[in-house]
Structure 1
Amino acid sequence: MVKTWEQLDEVQPNVMKLLKNSLIKERLAHAYLFEGMRGTGKREVSLILAKSLFCERPVEGYRPCEVCNNCKRVNSGNHPDIHVLEPDGLSIKKHQIQALQGEFAKTGVESKKKLYTIVHADRMTVNAANSLLKFLEEPNSETTAILLTEQSQQILPTILSRCQIVSFKPLSSVNLIKKLTELGVEPYKAPIIAQLTNNLDEALSLSSDDWFAQAQKIVVKLYEVLKKNPLEALVSLQEDWFLHFKEKEQFDQGLNLLLLIFKDLLYIQLGKPEQVVYLSEKVRLEQFALQTSGRRLTEQMTAIFDAKRKLHSNMNPQLLMEQLVLKLQEGSSFV
């Protein structure tokens, strides 16, 4: 789906401000490197920059009008002076760069301006990178290059030095939730995932991970038995938690999920139900929130933070969880 300037401004305001100022002042760099995680809008921004450059009637001097012939052709991928290069198999080969150079040696079909975008620029072979370097060393004033990468450390320093590097920030939780739902993740799953990562790849992986789905059920069950008696909670640890959470990273993820339940309860008490992330448990959480106090919730959240700290200082995870369960029930200081 084609994004508007306004939509991209919500996701990457710093990037869009930089490009806006460069367009208005007519001081675009001859080469840009857009670097950042997958899903942060690099490709969409390269598309809108292309439209801004070729638009027949840019709004306020920088925004593409989206209705002129050039804007429509850029959107459809049919503009003769715009070229997009993607890996041929696993890498971008030398012959691809040479073919691109051949195109740019010709006069622009409709104007002197030309633009090329290299997707996954970090996947260029050494020979391809060296060919591109020669291209970048002798820039045509009417040519704009945009390199896209998630791995800028894989690109030759000599290429980096000839590009203006534009960093794309990880998505905020709000934007990540929106992106996940656009990609088909169930709306009740997305808010929890967005609290645990701002990496789109990792978020998508979690959304389809059976282990993670089961982990959420075990954490909710543990919270429910915590409200009953210490013995039942310790039994639940043995029967469920310790069988599912085995590695240190898994324990940590379990503690993160447990922490989110207490945060949800606190948000409900503070009159901020829109902040709740366990949407499938919201009705029950609203009932649970009536049975505790804000001070108690704060103490319990502090206990979980302490447990996470002790986990990373190599305390025995099973002993740690047993102590945490007792602390969450009693309210005594965490050992």
Structure 2
Amino acid sequence: MKTWSDVAEVQPLVSKIITNSIKKDRVSHAYLLQGERGTGKEAIARLLAKGLFCEHKQGVEPCHTCTACKRIESRNHPDVHWVEPDGQSIKMDQIRNLQKEFTYSGVESNQKVYIIIGADTLTVNAANRILKFLEEPSKKTTAIMLTENSQSIIPTIRSRCQVIDLQPLNPTNFQQQLIDAEVQDRSAKLISALTNNLEEAMALNEDEWFATARKLMVQLVEAFTDAPDDAYLFIHNHWVTNFKERKEQEQGLDLLLLAFKDILYFHIGNEDRLVVFTPGEERLERLGMYFSQEKLVSILHHLLQAKQKLKQNVHPTLVMEQLTLQIQR
């Protein structure tokens, strides 16, 4: 999404709210953009920053060609600061350094912008420190906070931001986009359930690691029915060695969520919603016979808990060990 017109096509309400603020010169001192991955949070933040610095703006649209726009695009503008998780969280030292910037005038103008990616990963101390800016905003300072998990944002931060909800993208339309880009139908259906970002989706489709991850996910689900005594060993010998990075571990749990959702859809007769398995295949029927609806609901709950534990920095091997035991019970 390069323009507000592009944003309006997928997030019409968001586009209207922000462009109206720009037109009336009433840009908020702090925004909280909340929405699923791929819904355009970073693109919107970048567009808003460009609109505040662009040298040749046409209405609400930045030109994208001036020095300011180009530097914002490449994250090299001295008055636009990006903060991202250092490891698995945004730490107090990062916010402390940001606070130092609050005390300085803009390098090239009186305007300053701070874009905080993954605001839900702020440690408690970091979140408390960021409140100082939100409570005492400078007229020429704008904070843009982005999150996929709005429930993890402390209420005192939420209450000081203009909260903007980004709507989930239509997975069917995105799936067709992938098919038009020559991604196989089954892969398109699965990948569109994992991301709404076209660039990320195409990378997953061509990634050998992801192909292996899909196979391991199915093998683990089948291990619970075919060789339950070996499932724990499978976790140690295959799963943890393939899912090493935080993002990979989260994707592994997302894949398992989709697989167990498929089995639940089989139970309730919604086979048109399958993304991992195909309607009528023998192994899906076997899995459906093994896992009751009640058990599947419990497993989905444990999977969501496992995702939350990863965000809380619990060791991923311990997370998978506990999850395996919970599924086996």
Give me the TM-score of the superposition, normalised by structure 1. 0.60
Partner residue of 1:177?
175
Compared CA separation, residues 256 and 199, structure 1 to 2 (3 A): farther
Per-residue CA distance 1:39-71 (angstroms, 9 max, x = gap): 1110111011111111112112x1111111111
What stretches of structure 1 of length at least 5 have no aligned partner? 215-245, 262-276, 278-310, 315-335
Structure 2 spans left out of the alignment, 5+ residues: 220-258, 276-291, 296-329
Helix, strand or coil at the partner of 2:50: helix
| Alpha-carbon distance between aligned partners in 2 of 1:165 and 1:92, rounded to the nearest angstrom | 20
Give me the whole-angstrom Cα distance separating, in 1, the residues matched to 2:87 and 2:102.
24
In 2, the alpha carbon distance for the partners of 1:13 and 1:35 equals 15
Q: Does 1:252 align with 2:265?
A: yes
Query: 1:192 deviation in Å?
Result: 3.9
1:186 pairs with one of 179, 183, 188: 183
| Preserved contact between residue 181 and residue 187 of structure 1 (Cα < 8 Å) | yes
Deviation of the 1:33 alpha carbon: 0.3
Listed as ranges, the matches of 1:98-177 within 5 Å are 98-173=96-171, 175-177=173-175
Alignment counterpart, residue 90 of structure 2, candidates 89, 92, 111? 92
CA apart distance, 1:3: 2.9
Q: 1:213 to 1:179 in 2, by over 3 A?
A: farther
- Cα–Cα, structure 1 residues 15 and 64, in superposed 2: closer, same or farther, change >3 Å? same
Whether the 8 Å CA contact 1:170–1:198 is kept in 2: the answer is no
Q: Work out whether 1:29 is the aligned partner of 2:32.
A: no
Could you list the per-position Cα deviations for residues 175-223 of structure 1 after superposition, in whole angstroms to 9, with x for gaps in the alignment? 53367579x882533664489x58649x969995349999xxxxxxxxx
- 1:6-63 deviations in Å (ceiling 9; x for gaps): 3222221111111110100111110000001111110111011111111112112x11
Q: Does the CA contact (< 8 Å) of 2:262 and 2:273 recur in 1? A: no
Residue in 2 that maps onto 1:53:
52
CA distance in 2, matches of 1:313, 1:89: 37
Write the distance in 1 (CA, Å) between the matches of 2:261 and 2:143: 45
Structure 1 runs (4+) greater than 6 angstroms displaced: 203-207, 211-214, 311-314
Q: CA RMSD in A?
A: 3.6
Find the residue that maps to 1:52 and give its secondary structure: helix
Given residue 4 of structure 1, which amino acid in structure 2 is its aligned partner?
Answer: T
Alignment length (residue pairs): 230
Change (3 A) 1:160 1:247: closer
Deviation at residue 119 of structure 1 after TM alignment: 0.6
Q: Secondary structure at 1:32's aligned position in 2?
A: strand
C-alpha separation between the residues in 1 aligned to 2:182 and 2:28?
Answer: 38
Q: Distance in 1 between matches of 2:73 and 2:83?
A: 16
Task: Indicate the structure (1 or 2) with the bigger Cα radius of gyration.
Answer: 1
CA contact (8 A) 1:170 1:199 kept: no
Secondary structure, aligned partner of 1:92: coil
- What SS is found at the alignment partner of 1:189? helix
In structure 1, the partner of 2:12 is 13
Give the residue type in structure 2 aligned to 1:49: L
- Letter matched to residue 6 of structure 1: S
After TM superposition, the score normalised by the length of structure 2 is 0.61
Instruction: Please give the per-residue CA displacement for 1:161-180, whole angstroms capped at 9, x wherever unaligned.
Output: 00000001101135533675
Deviations, residues 138-180 of structure 1 (Å, cap 9, x unaligned): 0001000000001111111000000000001101135533675
* AA of the residue aligned to 2:145: L
